[in-house]
Structure 1
Amino acid sequence: MASLTEIRWHGRGGQGAKTASILLGKVAAKTGKHIQAFPEYGPERMGAPVLAYNRISEDDITVHCQVTDPGIVTVLDPTLLNVVDVTDGVPEDGTLVVNSEEDVATIKEQLEFDGDIWVLDAYGVANKEIGRPFPNTPMLGALMQATDLLPFENFVKQIKVELEKKFAHKPEMIDKNVAAIKRAYKEVAK
């Protein structure tokens, strides 16, 4: 299963880590990839740390457990960097995509991680484009820039279809979330 990509999402309840994982999985599936997208959390409390996972592969996925050695980690809440070891299980050549106002060098030093780190002020992007500080869709845009998981234009086209389903009752949120994804794709720094 050499083509398997595993992603771990770190967030807090209410930030959309589970939703981002599921949206990514649905879009990847539409491109013909095999996927898994699932959360892991204890008691559902707003603000409590949560994990979500993705597996994306060209081949059938035969493992059915949490992701312990992700090649990619996405951190939706910068306060988790002081609470959780977000680099646990990540190989030296892994990729971290972090929501933070700090620069890459500061995050690299804080985490003592020499792999690939990308940083985006996802709260800032969300506030500007969506009008609320939900980091999940901006972090999807940052993730697309930081990795070669899916071609960006195709990703945007397919994510819009998924957002149309999710926000059928709030159509104005579709364009706002797409704008946040596009802005994040351009603004994420390495």
Structure 2
Amino acid sequence: MPAKIFEIRWHGRAGQGAKSASQMLAEAALDMGKYVQAFPEYGAERTGAPMKAFNRISNEPILLHCSVEKPSLVVVIDDTLLGNPDILAGTTPETILIVNTVKPIEWVRQKTGFQGKICVVKATDIALEELGRGTPNTVVLGAIARVTGIVELKYVEDKIRDMFLKKFGEEIVQKNIRALHRGYEEVTCSA
């Protein structure tokens, strides 16, 4: 029987932190004792260009080495990308869709036609409030932890500390941890 692998496909724009978030998520899951993969896919490498990142998380070794084609979770960091048909490629009614948007769930459903579970979080707004800049990645990680249970917040907090403490200091670490927790608390999902 093949290993059950939780696969995530991230859609964002270069510079929004999707690659960093996928890496933090993978490292947090690795610290939990899971097998992981995290890798990006770029088109034109310039700030603002659409890009994808991918994660695989499993309790058993992962032998796949390709893009995620049948995602368990699709994360959209920029809601202006929702008209792109690639967003829903390979999804099923069991796939979860998390979107960074200030718009309601029904707007996302109408925009995409997606029939599975849709979750929304105002990640950019939260990031602006907590960090003073619109980088939504740590907020989205909190939403992923809440919606999927694939990673525990404590492990993500540890990764934030590892990545930011020496470079930016304790104040920035604490701001990112607050943003993470707000993403966890403020994500809302369809039934």
CA contact (8 A) 1:6 1:70 kept: yes
Gaps of 5+ in 1: none
Encode CA deviations 1:132-171: one digit per residue, 9 max, x unaligned: 000111111111111120233x3344334433xx441211
* Structure 2 unaligned spans of 5+: none
Number of the residue aligned with 2:114: 113
Which residue matches 1:159?
159
Which letter does structure 2 place at the counterpart of 1:68?
E
Select which of 136, 143, 167 maps to 1:169: 167
Does residue 94 of structure 2 align to residue 93 of structure 1?
yes
Helix, strand or coil at the partner of 2:21: helix
TM-score (norm 1): 0.93
Count, aligned residues: 187
Equivalents in 2 of 1:28, 1:103: separation in Å?
30
Q: 1:158 to 1:86 in 2, by over 3 A?
A: same
Q: Which ranges of 4 or more aligned residues in structure 1 deviate by more than 4 Å?
A: none
Maintained 8 Å contact 1:15/1:76: yes
Secondary structure in structure 2 of the residue aligned to 1:51: strand
- Using the aligned pairs only, state the percent identity: 41
Q: 1:167 to 1:79 in 2, by over 3 A?
A: farther
SS in 2 for 1:133: coil
Which moves more between the two structures, 84-93 or 30-39? 84-93
In 2, Cα distance between equivalents of 1:68 and 1:160: 29
Q: Tell me the distance in 2 between the aligned counterparts of 1:91 and 1:83.
A: 17
Question: What CA deviation, in whole Å up to 9, does each residue of 1:37-76 have, x standing for no partner?
Answer: 0000023100000100000000000010111111101110
The TM-score normalised by the length of structure 2 is: 0.93
Between 1:168-177 and 1:72-81, the stretch displaced more is 168-177
One-letter identity of the residue aligned with 2:15: G
The one-character-per-residue Cα deviations of 1:109-148 (angstroms, maximum 9, x if unpaired) are 2111111110011111000111100011111111111112
